[in-house]
Amino acid sequence: MRGRLRRLLAVLDGTPTGTRGQSLVELTLTLPILLVMLMGLTEIGWYANNYLTLLDVVREAGRFGATLDPLAWPDGEELKYHRMDCEDLITNFDKRPFEEQLTWPGPDLSAWGYQPGDDERPIGFYDGVACSVIGNMQPLDFNDDTDDIVVSVFQFVVLNRSLPSAEVRIVGRLPARANECENDDEYDPFDWNRDGNGSGIDEDTARFDSSWDNVRGYVFRGNHQMNFGAPMDCLGSAFSTADVEEMLDFNGHPDRARKIDEVANFGLVLVEVFWRHRQLLALPWFNLGPLADGQMIHVWAFFPVSAAEPDLDY
């Protein structure tokens, strides 16, 4: 009885008992878990910050493209190396003015028709939009070997307006020599009535191409490549013409008929950025399997372009 009383008094008095070292053991067991959770939250916050930064950048580039005229771009120039940089100096492939990058960065794109240019041009529509991304994405860096920027312009009209059969249809996708992927697209966008004859919009009839480009949009580096089971990969945009047409057509919307009736014939610029995210801490237990290569962040934005409005009544 006296022994129990002494132990009780010792506990009330704070005298160490047989539980000596319990807190240290508990801390040893829980601290690694807490540290991993803290580092995981840090990586998630880093990823979210980079994603939001890129989202703002792609929107700013879309606003910039909305003020320019994509139809002023010469067809075929998007397949020239010298039109895929941000410098006006001959033979330079610089992401920022007055750098000293003299050789083409990124993969060899000769299989897709890209050839070195023998002259430099002033910044135009597509390279201007891409360079807007480069100029606004700091402090993030653009990696020539992994990252890419893709710019596409869509022209669309409303067919059979005010009728039950009304639909939004894309009647052109620019650049004209880089607008479809084999096995993912079903037709050239400039074949707007889908008869296979290239019935286009006035002078745009000449932009119809019956062969597969396997390039979708103006690509800044050609690093984003997709495989649809065709003999060669496809470069560029992750969106097919049918994907964009489905979004514009309000499929499944309960108020679809009214919305389509209010749609005007117009043009859109689509800006996409593919950026390889790298971890901030790069700790070994967060770099297992596919995580070791980093995660590809894909951000995109649509903006209206009045200069690309099609001249077509149907």
| Whether 260 contacts 250, CB under 8 Å | yes
Place of tokens 């319990």: 22
71-89 tens-digit pLDDT = 999 888 998 888 888 888 7
Position 78 in a domain:
yes
Position 13 in a domain:
no
CA distance 90 to 244: 37
Which residue range(s) make up the domain with 155?
41-308
272 pLDDT band, cuts 50/70/90, is very high
Q: What pLDDT, on the 0 to 100 scale, is given for residue 17?
A: 54
Phi-psi region of 76 (alpha: psi -120 to 50; beta: other; left: phi over 0): left
Position 3 in a domain:
no
Q: What pLDDT, on the 0 to 100 scale, is given for residue 269?
A: 97
Mean pLDDT computed over every residue of the chain: 86
Position 1 in a domain:
no
Position 70 in a domain:
yes
Global pTM reads 0.86
Position 25 in a domain:
no
Position 4 in a domain:
no
Both structure tokens of 160: 């059979």
Q: How many domains does the chain have?
A: 1
Lowest mean pLDDT among 24-33, 229-238, 249-258, 292-301: 24-33
Helix, strand and coil content of the chain, in percent to the nearest 5, comes to 35, 20, 45
Position 23 in a domain:
no
DSSP 263: P
Higher per-residue confidence, 299 vs 199:
299
